[in-house]
Structure 1
Amino acid sequence: MNSWVEWINRQTLANKFKWANLVTSGSVILASTLFLVSIQVYFFTISVVAQTQASATVVSENLSAALVFDDRAAAGDILAALRALPDVQSAAAFDRQGRLFASIGAPAGMAPFGMRSRPDYVLSLHEVVIVHPVQVRQQRLGTVVVRSSLSSVYHQLALYLGLAIPVMFALMAVAHLVLSRLQRFVTDPINELSKASEQVSRLGDYSIRARVPASEDVGALALTFNNMLDRIEKRERELESEIAERRRVEARLDRLAHFDPVTHLHNRHFFNERLEAAVLRSREQNRRAVLMFIDLDNFKAVNDTLGHDVGDDLLRLVARQLAAELRHEDMIARIGGDEFAILLEHVHDVDMALAVAAKCLATLARPILIGSHDIRIGASIGISMCPDDTRDMHTLLKYADTAMYYAKNNGKNAYRLFTPDMQDDAEKRFVLDNNLRRALERNEFLLHYQPQVDLHSGAIIGAEALIRWRHPELGLISPADFIPLAEESGLIVPIGAWVLREACRELGRWHAAGHPVRMAINLSGRQLQEPGMVASVLSILDEAGIEAQAIVLELTESMLMDASSATIECLHLLKRAGIELALDDFGTGYSSMSYLKTLPIGSLKIDRSFVRDLPGDAEDAAITKAIIAMARSLRMNVVAEGIETEEQGRFLRENGCDKAQGYFYGRPLPGVQMRQLLDQARSASVV
């Protein structure tokens, strides 16, 4: 049974409809035929029964006389007349006692029938037996039994079935054809839906639609199906658009994750991955890999002066120029700000790496034209190698950074190869940096003051405040060691503020003691960038009770080279407040000359490197004379520093220098001793 159910479930809807049509129409036609056959059998049988009853009635009436007179021959003749009837098989007459009186066709030993008072019959599948009493005047004389065969009925039934069965099959065929045509109105739309579903599933094309005429059932289903496909197609388009957008976003995120958006070079993240792999290959294959850190010199000045757009253009051009100097297998990346990194693999000797560094410096030394701006920059390059210096990626990075720091702090526009001494110095710098952060809190800083004299009168007219750091364990630390660290870390701002406040307080004490000298105080470029710088200086002056004209703020050439418009405005505000500005270490830079006409500079300080060999060195003498002459033409005062001999002082005085300072006139002294020196100078002048 289950197998039949499974077989039916596997059939198509059309086949199910066909079988349903055949079963239904066949059942109806068969039932109708059986009903008609039954009717015909009934009527045929009733006809035979009626005919036999009629014959039995006639015979019973005719046999009465024969029975009365006991005339068996006459009774036989009467029964013989029944032979004319085709259905009658036998007939028998029985007397009153039930004995056979006469018969035709009766089987031998036929059982007698009892006396019957009225007609009766027995119907079986093969025959009908009629029992009829023979009576005269209500007196029963005997019984007549007539047997008729039903073969004529079956013969008629066979003829009827022979006609009915073909008609039945014909009707079934007609019904099947009609119902099949009718079923197509149902199955064709469903087949169309099925076909459309199969194509959508097979092709994945949601633009396919089911073409089904509108109706209240299947048409509504098709409309719903097509509407569903509309929504799926719309969602599919949205998904495709969303996926495409997501891929674009992922590609963009991937590019942002691995590429610098300005220069389109690889970024720090991707470079570190490549560097790690290169270090691993270098260890496994024992081949040299070289790392270069490149930091552009004076890039900040370009950015602040010409704007970030020009700065970005400059970075792009620099990236393109550096990449042009490399081999195809080499890698360059921008790792942040104005810093680049280059990775060289399969380097046979150190000279090859140095040659690449030299080419990079030569390329960056050439002028770069951006719009109407002719820009000149340089670079500082630090080089470390694997496995020569280290086999660890992070250490290799640190070594290259350390070497780059040395290149930048030794004149810039140079490259340096890492050496172990650099790491020792770096560790010392690290120790100093950590201690420097607590030096202010521990009051470890102090000021010394170096006298400044008038070269014509020899009188002390001022002093320069010089910071010192007395560490409880490391001893006295030179400003040359800790000032660069303070500049890098930003600590120069609070340290510079402390120096300005402490120097002004000491100057206030000198003025109170009757010494109207001036104080020269060094100013950091980071201090000038602080918001409210001018107001802070004026507040310190007011707190110390001294006039603005009593101090000179000394600036370096590098500060002016990197000065932004905000910094220049700050300098003008200080000048308008009455504070004199001096340019320290003049002549050691290479681009400050153009600032002298536009910046509010009141004094130039000739660097000790030009004074050291005076008057014997003709070149230094010529440079010193030129600086003095230029300052005079710009109505600026000239201060020479580092004077250690009387001959140096005489040369400077004879060539028009105004003021001087150096060991020849006095070493830097603590505030108390400087005050004593001023007292002694005043006493000597009185005498």
Structure 2
Amino acid sequence: MDQVSILARVYCINILLTLLSIIATASVMADESTAKGWLVPANLPFERIHPLLEQEVSTLSKIDLSYVRIKGEQGYWFIVDLNKQSQSKANVIYADNSHLAQLDFYTLDENFNLLVEVNNEAYRYINKVLPHAQLYADEARWAAVYVRHSEDDRMGIRLATAAEFAKLINTKLRNFFLIAGLLLLSIAIAGTVYGLSHQVKSLYLLGYLICVLSEFLIAKGVLNYFNIEFVSLWYIKLQFSFQVLALAVINFYFIHYLQSQNLLNARQDKLTVYIGLFSVAAVLSCVMKQSEQFAVVTVCLGAMLVLLCYLFFYWLSNTKKTIQFKFVLVWFAVILQTLCWQATLVSGAKVQQFNDVLLVLNVITFVLMLLIHERECVKQYSYSLTHDDDTKLPNKQLLIKRLDNQVILEIEHSLLLFRPAVLSNARASFGYEHVNDQIKVTMGKLVPQLASMNVMCIETNLQGSRCIARLDDSTYGVVIVGKLELSQIEQLVCVINSVFAEGITHKRIHLIDKVEIGVANYPLHASTSLQLVQRGLQALAVKPLHGERWHMFNIDNVALSQRRIAIASALKEAIEFDQLSLFFQPQIYLNTGKVHGAEALLRWEHPQLGNVPPDLFIPIAESSGIISDLTEWVITQALRYQKKMTALLPEHIISINISAKDLQRKDLPVLFITLLNEYQLNPANVMLELTESATLFEGVDIRNALNDYRLIGVKIAIDDFGTGYSSLAYLSKMGFDEIKIDKQFVMNIEYSKNDQTICRATCDIAKSLGSYVVAEGIEDSQSMVKLQSYGCEVGQGYFFSRPLPFDDYMLWLEQNFEATTVFVNDLGKVVDLVGKNNY
């Protein structure tokens, strides 16, 4: 629907509604009871007009006094024949306009002589709301009312009995307090809702209600109790300005709503300026004459109505969502209220009662719509607390609530947690939206299969029953009711694995991965629901071995996990407070027996944990992110000790192990340069040992990383050679200075032909690549002789020395650095010149 058709519809509807308001106003006016009499314009006091009354009454024809227009600064006499009124028992005369500048009541005899000037001092508060006079004199034949106002206005003169007038007053006061109380209560509700939720719609409703309340109070003559003519007059005119402001607030809300839905373009944003201009014009019209103000306010109300209709139909034509009935109801209520206000401008007080009824209905409608919306928001928020936003599955909170019920009833049950590993890869490859859709489809396939098994229903709603809960981004849970039976768990595991075996496909990319499963039982493994979830997560965290598809909670795994956590926590403190130490294991030239150097080995003796082996805390340091600090500490200490070692043995080689993750650090070569310059060490005497698995570490450019260290001058060794998958081409490409044979091939070399073959081949490969070989784990002379015969240059192991603390190693070095420690003569006999001073 284009804008032209929208505007055409708006104007047609506006014309139709205006005609309806005129017809409704006419019908209301026709139904009003009338009081007939004579209207005599005269700015004269009673004494001067008295001689003319009989002549005026005899010459003028009767007119309807219930609706009379009066001009500003012009006095008027209303003359009523009391004996000829249809209400013969009427003893109260009143005016329906309480805003007049001057209003005086008189009673006259049949000769138009003044009987008494009515004094309503005893009823002055009622008189402020409904000016009136009681006709006590039995001989009263005529009633005269003198009226003067500073602006053009409308008014009516009416008669009633005392009982009817009392009922009228009571009705007006009751309606006033009820409507005013309802408006104040609605304002309090809207303000409270905004204070709690800070929703913009409640703020707009608050502004609308304040404008309506102000207009209502002015219309009911609240300021008439202040005897200030100018203020009262200005205040009365402000009544119509508040009507325009109330419509402006509604229009602003529609614009805000359309902007929040991205339905308004930049050009249509100028509607805000137009609404503001009409609002300012309505406020400024208070200083105009009343006739001029009515014209301005009528134009502003019409313009606001056109804009409101335009915005509404524009929303209908552009919204892609289902049209909300409450939105249409609010729009219709505002339109009807506007038409009623326009009718009030035409007919004055004649439609005021209908306006009050409509005002009550609209306010109740708006507040109910707001409360219903807030109720929906509360329900949605409560739902979000117990359900996952992406998949709409029950979340951890709802699962724990159901488990609590099982614990209270002491029903035995098991919690099966599963984590499809494919989800993490799929999110990285395909994005969250596609994966969440796939999860819904997969869970939709899994639920019917689980329903036939002894699985607890976590939630039942209009969408059906749900037996799967989502604990976190990739972990799901199922509750098995009854005693723990391994066959039942195996059946569930088979079902889950079969469903996820299909994997996830997107744009011809298909991902298939395993499912990790952990199980914990109540009351076997836990006594509370929270503890049961914790046990299930601990079982899920166990690394599966070959052939294992699921894990039952095991207290031994928990103890190991807790120890790992304690180690990770204590490791940072150990680095800061120097609880670590370096040991040094000598490396010996096999042919000459001279000291080649030493390998720096890290040791940790914790006050509470005891001796923590490197095989345990090094992986923990890598997984917890402490490995960088640990490596810096080792390098700093090793090079500081190397300074003292080279003072005793200038050609001493220090070997330092480095982690694969350390190769990614660009600041580590800088640290080497700084320390080498500080201690004035020869870089060629520093050997960095990388495990074979580290050289194959995924995501690391090994060659470029090693070149950074070669530029410094340090040498590179590949450690634990033979345990990985390095090829000869790979070794040639990397260009290692040293190849270390792992001790598992050395310790049994005398009896194992396979180990002999591996060691001999390694030595041959090293010679062909220009590298020398270091053998680890030499524990006897026979192993040393074998390796020496294969061409192995350097060896280390318990046969030479155990790893020694720095002070002990320096003592050992002083005793052995000059002599030929171990050599092999031509007869193959081993001569030990060191004696039995082995560590």
TM-score, normalised by the number of residues in structure 1: 0.55
Match for residue 551 of structure 1 among 656, 670, 686: 686
- Matched residues in 2 for 1:619 and 1:436: separation? 40
Secondary structure at the residue paired with 1:468?
strand
Once residues 578 and 327 of structure 1 are traced to their aligned partners in structure 2, the CA distance between those partners, rounded to angstroms, is: 60
Q: CA deviation at 1:319?
A: 8.2
* Contact preservation (8 Å) 1:265, 1:334: no
Q: Does 1:233 align with 2:309?
A: yes
Go from structure 1 to structure 2 and tell me whether the alpha carbon gap of 1:349 and 1:494 turns closer, same or farther (over 3 Å shift).
same
How far did residue 513 of structure 1 move? Answer: 0.9
- Return 5+ residue gaps in structure 1 as ranges: 1-10, 37-199, 201-205, 207-214
Residue 287 (str. 1) matches residue 363 (str. 2): no
Cα deviation for residue 507 of structure 1 reads 1.5
Q: Pick from 350, 362, 369: which aligns with 2:486? A: 350
2:396 equivalent in structure 1 = 272
Offset, 1:424: 2.2
Alignment of 1:102-501 (within 5 A): 224-234=300-310, 236=312, 271-273=395-397, 275-277=399-401, 279-280=403-404, 283=407, 284=409, 285-292=411-418, 310=429, 327-328=446-447, 329=450, 331=468, 335=472, 340-346=474-480, 349-350=485-486, 353=489, 383-403=519-539, 406-407=542-543, 416-501=551-636
Match of 2:809 in 1: 674
Q: Which runs of 5+ in 2 are unaligned?
A: 1-23, 41-53, 60-246, 248-253, 255-290, 323-372, 451-466, 822-832, 834-839
Look up the match of 1:14: 27
Q: Give the AA of the match of 2:414.
A: R
Alpha-carbon distance change, 430 to 21 in structure 1, aligned in 2, over 3 angstroms:
closer
Shift of residue 672 of structure 1? 2.3
Alpha-carbon distance change, 511 to 216 in structure 1, aligned in 2, over 3 angstroms: closer
TM superposition shift of 1:449: 0.6
Deviation readout 1:343-375 (Å, 9 max, x if unpaired): 233276335546776898999999999999999
* CA offset digits 1:434-456 (Å, max 9, x no partner): 43332233322111111223344
Within 1, Cα distance between the matches of 2:797 and 2:511? 38
Shift of 1:535: 0.3
The question of whether the paired residues in 1 share the 8 Å contact of 2:575 and 2:630 is answered with yes
Q: Partner of 2:719 in structure 1?
A: 584
How far, CA to CA, are the matches of 1:602 and 1:377 in structure 2? 40
Distance (whole Å) between structure 2 residues aligned to residue 373 and residue 647 of structure 1:
57
Counterpart of 2:595 in structure 1: which amino acid? I
Name the structure 2 match of 1:60. Answer: none
Q: Pick from 560, 564, 574 the counterpart of residue 699 of structure 2.
A: 564
Aligned residues of 2:775 and 2:794 also touching (Cα < 8 A): yes
Does the 8 Å CA contact 1:582/1:604 hold for their aligned counterparts? Answer: yes
Asked if the contact 1:571–1:600 (Cα under 8 Å) also holds between the matched residues in 2, the reply is: no
Measured after TM superposition, the shift of residue 289 of structure 1 is 1.6
Q: How much does 1:382 deviate?
A: 5.5
Question: Do the aligned partners of residues 651 and 385 (structure 1) sit closer, same or farther apart at CA in structure 2, a change above 3 Å counting?
Answer: farther
Cα deviation code 1:369-409 (max 9, x no counterpart): 9999999988876554444322445444544554455527x
Write out aligned runs for 1:497-536 (5 A).
497-536=632-671
Tell me the equivalent position of 1:649: 784
Rounded to whole Å, the distance in 2 between the matches of 1:632 and 1:324 is: 60
Give the percent of matched residue pairs that are identical in Structure 1 and Structure 2.
Answer: 24
* Cα root mean square deviation, aligned: 5.7
- Cα deviation, 1:27-78, whole Å, max 9, x if unaligned, reads 9xxx99x969xxxxxxxxxxxxxxxxxxxxxxxxxxxxxxxxxxxxxxxxxx
- Cα deviation for residue 550 of structure 1 reads 1.3
Amino acid at match of 1:442: F
The whole-number CA distance in structure 1 between the counterparts of 2:518 and 2:747 is 32
Q: 1:664 aligns with which of 799, 804, 809?
A: 799
After TM superposition, the structure 1 stretch with the greater mean CA deviation from structure 2, 535-544 or 426-435, is 426-435
Deviation at 1:512, TM superposition (A): 0.9
Q: Return closer, same or farther for 1:529/1:673 CA change in 2, 3 Å cut-off.
A: same
Task: Provide closer, same or farther for how the CA distance between residues 533 and 370 of structure 1 changes in structure 2, counting only shifts above 3 A.
Answer: farther
Residues 241-291 of structure 1: CA deviation (Å, up to 9, x unaligned): 8997999x999999999769xxx6689xx6433542453365344222212
Letter in 2 for 1:522: N
**What is the one-letter code of the residue matched to 1:14?**
S
Distance 2:550 2:770 in 1: 40
Indicate if the aligned counterparts of 2:446 and 2:496 stay in contact, CA closer than 8 A: no
1:380–1:412 contact (8 Å) kept in structure 2:
no
| Secondary structure in structure 2 of the residue aligned to 1:553 | strand
Q: Which amino acid aligns with 1:468?
A: R
Alignment size in residue pairs? 483
Partner of 1:180: none
Q: d(CA) in 1 for partners of 2:552 and 2:614?
A: 26
- Matched residue SS, 2:446: coil
Could you give the per-residue CA deviations for residues 297-354 of structure 1, whole angstroms, max 9, x where no partner exists? 9x9xx99xxxx965969x9599879958983257486946xxx424233276335546
- State the alpha-carbon separation in 2 of the partners of residues 470 and 312 from structure 1: 47
Question: Is the 8 Å Cα contact of residues 557 and 592 (structure 1) preserved in structure 2?
Answer: no
After superposition, the Cα gap between the structure-2 partners of 1:253 and 1:344, relative to the gap in structure 1 and judged at 3 Å, is closer
